[in-house]
Amino acid sequence: MDRKLTDRKLTDRKPMDRELAVATELAEWAAERIRRPRATDDVRDVREKAGPADIVTATDEAVETHVRAVLRREFPEYGIEGEEYGVHEGSPGAPHWLIDPVDGTTNYAHGIGWCSFSLGLATEEGAPLLGVVADPWRHEIFTAVKGGGARLNGRPVHAAAHSTLTGHVFLTEWAAHAHWPGMDDLLRELAARHCTVRVMGSTALSLVQVAAGRATAAAIGEFHPVDGLPPLLIATEAGALAIPELPPYDTPLLLTAPGAAPEATELWYRTVTGRGERPPLR
């Protein structure tokens, strides 16, 4: 991104047009940066953060540094929260960006091609306005603006039309390296329904598969807006249901195709929350 993004000519401007244009270009740049072949000594660029299962690479830091610099230049009044470099406060009442430069760093550091770049924009209160998730390895960029539907490489996408979990794919993730409360019970119930579970290693990339209709449902045990808010918006704009609609920090999230929602939600509340009954769907 050598030229100033503000030079881009946008016609028929709608709310979030400029933000989406900047975010999409940043996602394209980040995907190319993540795809670069790593040198044999790149292992020396991997460091522990909270522990052996929580690591950071030089690529995480380089991507976030560049993205933050562009966003501060283009939207100086907006706040920024990033996975690696914390919070930059914006003007009172202004929205804030959410950056996860490499979501799935463990996969990336070990040469496994399932990680992502995610970038979101939220209101001061935390409601999602815009979401972008890039899959560097499949050259896919998912985008959504609140109220505008979801797109994959510019084309509309929709949640699956399945009416059951049986025979379909359910994606989930560990809480770092550990199981989260209710996860084992959930996996047993899904297996009994002949629903195939996959744990792939990138929260954003797993959740966004519900938007593409590839996974009928997906769940995480600990919602973090930095990597969870962009795919949540993309999936719901594609027609998926989120349970709850916007989780508090560090609480569980279920995304499900609407036709499978009665089954998925009953199972979710019985195994994960322990309520034993299905709540009303909205």
Residue 15 confidence (pLDDT): 73
The answer on pLDDT for 12 being more than 80 is no
With vertex at residue 7, the alpha carbon angle to CA 4 and CA 13, rounded to the nearest 5 degrees, is 125
Mean pLDDT of the chain: 91
Q: Which of 10, 27, 142, 7 is nearest to 73 (CA)?
A: 7
CATH 3.40.190.80 fits 169-273, yes or no: yes
- Residue scoring higher pLDDT (236 or 39): 236
- Residue scoring higher pLDDT (259 or 40): 259
Name the residue ranges covered by the structural domains of the chain. Answer: 5-156, 169-273
pTM of the model: 0.91
Spatial CB neighbours of 132, under 8 Å, sequence gap ≥ 6: 20, 23, 24, 26, 27, 118, 119, 120, 141, 142, 143, 230
**Average pLDDT for 16-34:** 97
Residue 48 confidence (pLDDT): 77
Spatial CB neighbours of 238, under 8 Å, sequence gap ≥ 6: 144, 149, 150, 157, 158, 159, 210, 211, 212, 213
The answer on pLDDT for 273 being more than 90 is no
CA distance 253 to 146: 19
Residue 277 confidence (pLDDT): 44
Most confident by average pLDDT, 5-19, 26-40, 44-58, 119-133? 119-133
Q: What are phi and psi of 252, to 5 degrees?
A: -70, 155
- Percent of the chain scoring above 70 in pLDDT: 90
Residue 6 confidence (pLDDT): 43
**Residue pLDDT, tens place only, 169-224:** 999 999 888 899 999 999 999 999 999 999 999 999 999 999 999 999 999 999 99
Number of H helices, E strands in the chain: 7, 15
The answer on pLDDT for 13 being more than 70 is no
CATH of region 5-156, choose from 3.30.540.10, 3.30.70.2190, 3.40.50.150, 3.30.70.920: 3.30.540.10
The answer on pLDDT for 3 being more than 80 is no
**Average pLDDT for 52-57:** 82
**Average pLDDT for 145-169:** 98
**Average pLDDT for 108-132:** 96
